[in-house]
Amino acid sequence: MLCYLLFLDWTLEQILDATGVGNQLVKMRLLEFECVLLIILSAFLVFGKAEIYIVTVEGEPIISYSGGIDEFEATAVESDEKIDTTSEHVTSYSRHLEKRHDMILGTLFEQGTYKKLYSYRHLINGFAVHISPEQAETLRHAPGVKAVERDWKVKRLTTHTPQFLGLPTGVWPTGGGFDRAGEDIVIGFVDSGIYPHHPSFATHNSEPYEPVPKYRGKCEVDPDTKRNFCNGKIVGAQHFAQAAIASGAFNPSVDFASPLDGDGHGSHTASIAAGNNGIPVRMHGHEFGKASGMAPRARIAVYKALYRLFGGFVADVVAAIDQAVYDGVDILSLSVGPNSPPAAGKTTFLNPFDATLLGAVKAGVFVAQAAGNGGPFPKTMVSYSPWIASVAAAIDDRRYKNHLMLGNGKILAGLGLSPSTHLNRTYTLVAANHVLLDSSVMKYSPTDCQRPEVFNKKLIEGNILLCGYSFNFVVGSSSIKKVSETAKALGAAGFVLCVENVSPGAKFDPVPVGLPGILISDVSNSKKLIDYYNISTPRDWTGRVKSFKGLGKIGEGLIPILHKSAPQVALFSARGPNIKDFNFQEADLLKPDILAPGSLIWAAWSPNGTDEANYVGEGFAMISGTSMSAPHIAGIAALIKQKHPHWSPAAIKSALMTTSTTLDRAGNPLLAQQTSETEAIKFVKATPFDYGSGHVDPTAALDPGLIFDAGYEDYLGFLCTTPGIDIHEIRNYTHVPCNNTMGKPSNLNTPSITISHLVGTQAVHRTVTNVAEEETYVITARMEPSVAIEVNPPAMTINAGTSRQFTVTLTSRSVTGSYSFGEVLMKGSRGHKVRIPVVAKGFPR
């Protein structure tokens, strides 16, 4: 007992000191209480450096167990078949796997020296555990253990679009109208939770939702209000935070130990895919339009694994995906990607995250994942695998512009979702640094205009306040919302934010504010404003301002301008080529797969949300990211699944890709935003590395004519034929030996062709299945000059429900050191048009 009490008295700081500068302390305690030191050191060795590890073990998970163990019948599903969770075979084998996980840990380590966080049984066989690196090394060499990987972090990859995509007139009517669009399809969201009281998820103004028998997920109860998170529209709500808690990152007061969205991101993505139709978007007394999800009648299943301050951990995300598939979701929307490559993984396609998603696809679940926000630089994808639909972000046709008119007649363009100042008068311009109470407030970065108490209200009242856009706005410690609140509190007529230097990572989005306000994002325009202000503002011999003579007025910025040049690839959207390992070796697989709206998307927000400083406390937010484009595809996939319930995930992905467009609204080739030498944005002709197959066309995707189908065995063939992948690593995750009959990874039956290392001539094979009536297709191909392309046969008739193969032959004509782009086009006699992109880089023999 004495040892125990003394151990409690030894603080964490003292323990840390004892490993370094506190050696004297160690000596003193050694002399007095040897038992104390023994307890502390053993605890320190086990817990002091503990980390989270994901461990995979021998034995097949439920989804692929084909029998062979006495007392346990097979539980494996055929490709694209859901797990039968009502089966006693599944339940008993699941218990068997969990007992094995506990036995491995219990045999190797003393109780209390480790903490198992999750058992993964459905899609992969393994567990997540909180242990020291020394214990992890012991696990690596233990019988029955296949792989031990240190957990790594993931991050969020942070309405008008239904009309832009043609859903109300082209797609929803085919499914019975918006009030039936997505009926009985369950979309699972692995995100930051949901704000269940938002009108986008309400049920009081809709027809009653009947139970969905195929879905078996549970609904957690809010620990504070004791209210259920589900309402018929929301059919499941769970949270996963064991890894976050074990790591010490979880703070229950802000992260919420429930499915409640403490960030805003999860509510936003859920409403994009499946929010109710026709919800008024009101902010600051103005209605910006009506918001709707892509599939407004689809059900929402929430699997919270992301949190506001730190993102999330793969161990929690894998547990969420594992549970979602077991519960019976049809679609998974993942607006999440890794912060960095896995610590131990070599292959992009094989890690606990991607292997779990391979299991999900085997169970018939379509997976849409955000491509990443690392653009416009090449090889920035964070979604790599062929079984996932990787979604890039587009700018749609809506732009918000505004202007500032100066007293000298000059008009400066800018951004501002705000009302105008009174049209028939001008207002005095006052610079923030000239209207301070005293110089002592300079420590508060006063030109950011975040604190009304540092300003002289008498000098600002009725005038336009000029503020500076510093790096604080880029990192989020300052916000335009706060500028507006400051200006309003001081009685200003409006505000102007000047960008004098473009900070790395700065993106300038219009922000809705209730006060007239404008952001001058062009540095040259900001200079014109500052020059005019300085010339118009007389000073005394000390430089102090004597009076304010500069004048200006702010224009109307609430009405969007629609552009025919849309869609365009957003600057931030991650770019290919895809990589097969973390040495950045290029893969024979095109990524991204498809382009969807992802810039300035209006959708639901959580009042608790802090993901965007400009929308704290609001009910809606307009934000950008491939996080926004992925749920667009998830919702559209739900509409396809509703019409074609027996289609595989690969068939749905094929329908989306082959019917997409590479032209904008004006009929010109798609453009991509790119940075110029001066950091300004320029537009360049986009390639498949920017948009994949093209921009989604939901109406055409419902009736693609032909599909390129693939299943679990095909994906294994891709892995087995990809050079550089360790076959033992493949077996660790798939539990089957390699089959190399595919020949080359480029023969995977995807609706795209990529050859990253073309030497001489290579033939690539594809198989199409007719999902319409009998039709004759004429097949043509074109390619940039450095690579020759041929297709055979040039035409073929395909009966309904049957499949035919064709061959594409590529020959390197000249070595340019860069990729050549082209396409194969199949035109059907009944009007179907099927297009797949072709990408190849020639090398000398």
Which positions are annotated as active-site residues?
Answer: 191, 265, 627
Provide the token pair at 43: 């605890």
DSSP assignment, residue 545?
Answer: B
Question: What is the separation of C-alpha 232 from the centre of its chain, rounded to a whole number of angstroms?
Answer: 26
Provide the token pair at 324: 């979602």
- Closest by alpha carbon to 709, among 765, 648, 792? 648
The interaxial angle of helices 314-327 and 352-362, nearest 10 deg, is: 10
- Closest by alpha carbon to 200, among 264, 268, 151? 268
Provide the token pair at 735: 């539990």
Count Cβ atoms below 10 Å from residue 314 Cβ, excluding itself. 26
Count Cβ atoms below 10 Å from residue 838 Cβ, excluding itself. 25
- In angstroms, the CA 53 to CA 148 distance is 6
The answer for 602, left when phi > 0, alpha when psi is -120 to 50, beta otherwise, is: beta
How is the chain split among helix, strand and coil, in percent rounded to 5?
Answer: 30, 25, 45
- Bridge partners of 241, per DSSP, are none
- In angstroms, the CA 765 to CA 749 distance is 8
Host H or E run for residue 822: strand 820-828
Q: Which residue has the tokens 């695998």?
A: 385
- Bridge partners of 776, per DSSP, are 797
The interaxial angle of helices 88-108 and 133-140, nearest 10 deg, is: 120
- In angstroms, the CA 260 to CA 266 distance is 9
Contact indicator for 262, 610 with CB cutoff of 8 Å: yes
Max alpha carbon distance in the chain (Å)? 96
Give me the half-sphere count of Cα atoms (radius 13 Å) on the Cβ side of residue 553: 12
Report residue 155: phi and psi, to 5°.
-135, 160
Contact indicator for 612, 278 with CB cutoff of 8 Å: no
What is the secondary structure of 296-338 as a DSSP string? TT-EEEEEE--BTTTBEEHHHHHHHHHHHHHHT-SEEEE-EEE
- In angstroms, the CA 556 to CA 565 distance is 23
Sheet holding 795-798, edge to edge: 753-759, 833-843, 820-828, 775-783, 795-798
DSSP assignment, residue 348?
Answer: T
DSSP assignment, residue 419?
Answer: P
Q: Which residue has the tokens 């503990």?
A: 50
- In angstroms, the CA 418 to CA 442 distance is 29
Sheet holding 761-770, edge to edge: 706-707, 761-770, 803-812, 787-792
Count Cβ atoms below 10 Å from residue 684 Cβ, excluding itself. 13
Q: Is 180 helix (H, G, I), strand (E, B) or coil?
A: helix
Contact indicator for 712, 79 with CB cutoff of 8 Å: yes
Q: Buried (b) or exposed (e) across 765-801, using 16+ Cβ within 10 A?
A: bbebbbbbeebebebebebeebbbbebeeeebebeee
Q: Is 284 helix (H, G, I), strand (E, B) or coil?
A: coil
Residues in the chain: 845
- Closest by alpha carbon to 363, among 652, 781, 79? 79
